[in-house]
Amino acid sequence: MYTTSVPPKAKAVPSGLEAEPAVLTGGLIGYARVSTRDQNLDRQTDALTAAGCLRVFADKKSGKTSARPELEKALAFMRPGDTLVVASLDRLSRSLQDLIAMVAELRRREVGFRSLHEQLDTTTPGGRLVFHVFAALAEFIRELIVEGTREGLDAARARGRVGGRPPVMTPEKIAAAKSLLPEHSISAIARMVGVSRGTLYAHMDAITTPQPS
């Protein structure tokens, strides 16, 4: 009597940890960045070339600057199955939120991401898991900030104060401006009261309204 063996059922891969991209073309595209024109790109470009990058795009822009034309060219150049490679994470972004958003955008395009210094590679399950942890940590920090702000506002209201910036033009400043208006210019009153001319003009109705006798 013959029996047929049933192959073991493959374990389901958790959502978000599926292969990325689904089909690797092996096309490695490098991106390098330095903050100023005086800094040298050679160390990064040498590392990216040694890693097997077919082409390297390079910006001389600050990480705080949103306009990075060479990065835009790199993203336009890549096709599904390619992998964007950087020398280190801070060359792509200075912010954890921006980094997560960028990697998510690459994933949407079916493009992988690799950082040489941190040895992170989203084309592997371990690399994808690390970025999931990054995303969860960023969301946790955001929720802590929101919760802390809410608790601070609640405590302020309990003490009879409300949140937000204090008013620039207070009743005391309006009264002072009233007393100064006949003998001083608007610019002089603004300096003495401690507000801008625009703020003073915005409250001119209240300042020029006669006080009740």
Q: Among all residues, which ones are annotated catalytic?
A: 35
Alpha-carbon span 93 to 99, nearest angstrom: 5
d(Cα 53, Cα 93) in Å, to the nearest integer?
Answer: 20
Question: How is the beta sheet containing 55-60 ordered, strand by strand?
Answer: 55-60, 28-34, 83-86, 112-115, 120-121
Neighbours of 101 (CB within 10 A): 14
Residue 138: CB partners within 8 Å, gap ≥ 6? 96, 97, 100
What are the beta bridge partners of residue 30? 56, 85
Distance CA(9)–CA(26), nearest Å, equals 29
- Residue 113 near residue 53 (C-beta atoms within 8 A): no
Q: Which amino acid is at 193?
A: V
The answer to whether the beta carbons of residues 47 and 106 sit under 8 Å apart is no
